[in-house]
């Protein structure tokens, strides 16, 4: 497993960013940056060297779905794994995220095991592609 991957965690709640960052650290991923919404995250993604994006959906400023669409529309970022980690639980939203090209979808509240499982699955799929 590539433990030196660069993660960007996007959530408007600092509590949740901290939890995700801690869980990622426990999983052996030490390089975790944070952003509080899509507007902050997008320039970081464009100018940075991130390998994996974990984003909330419901955020002030640019919501996660719009961020996902921007990422998929940007040639350099279009293949980046994007895991949606959100409390949004409507079927049509999950369908919408899937259509926008989400790599995985975890609903809050979640467990450490679920997060690990989804990240591993996405990375395995990426390696196989």
Partner 1 sequence: MSTLHENNNEYAIWVTAMSQALDQGDKVAFRTALAGFDGARNSEVTTGIRKVALDLQTALDRFRVDSKLIDLAQRQVPDARHRLAHVLRLTDDAAHRTMDLVDRCCPLADHIAHEAERLAVQYEAAEPSHAMQPQLTGFLRQTATSMTAVRGNLAEVLLAQGYQDLSGQIIRGVMTLVDELETALGELVRIGGSELEAGSRSQDSRRGHGPIVPGINHGNAVGGQQDVDALLLDLGV
Instruction: Catalog residues that contact partner 1 under the rule CB under 8 A.
Output: 11, 13-16, 18-19, 22-23, 26, 57-59, 63-66, 86-96, 98-99, 102-112, 114
**Distance separating alpha carbons of residues 120 and 8, to the nearest angstrom:** 16
Query: What's the number of CA atoms in the CB half-sphere (13 Å) around residue 36?
Result: 6
**Shortest distance in whole angstroms from residue 81 CB to partner 1:** 12
Residue identified by tokens 């994006």 is 53
Angle made by CA atoms 49, 50, 52, in degrees to the nearest 5: 165
The nearer residue to partner 1, 51 or 96, going by C-beta atoms, is 96
The nearer residue to partner 1, 13 or 48, going by C-beta atoms, is 13
The nearer residue to partner 1, 49 or 92, going by C-beta atoms, is 92
The nearer residue to partner 1, 48 or 124, going by C-beta atoms, is 124
Rg of the chain taking only CA atoms, in angstroms? 13
**Shortest distance in whole angstroms from residue 73 CB to partner 1:** 16
**Shortest distance in whole angstroms from residue 17 CB to partner 1:** 9
Phi, psi of 32 (to 5 degrees): -130, 120
């Amino acid at each position: 497993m590539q433990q030196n991957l660069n993660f960007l965690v996007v959530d408007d709640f600092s509590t949740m960013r901290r939890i995700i960052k801690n869980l990622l650290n426990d999983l052996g991923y030490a390089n975790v940056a944070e952003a509080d919404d899509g507007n902050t995250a997008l320039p970081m993604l464009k100018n940075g060297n991130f390998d994996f994006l974990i984003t909330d959906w419901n955020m002030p400023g640019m919501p996660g779905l719009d961020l996902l669409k921007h990422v998929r529309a940007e040639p350099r970022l279009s293949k980046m794994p994007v895991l949606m980690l959100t409390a949004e639980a409507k079927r049509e939203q999950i369908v919408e995220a899937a259509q926008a090209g989400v790599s995985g979808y975890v609903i809050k509240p979640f467990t450490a095991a679920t997060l690990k499982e989804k990240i591993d699955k996405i990375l395995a799929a990426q390696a196989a592609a």
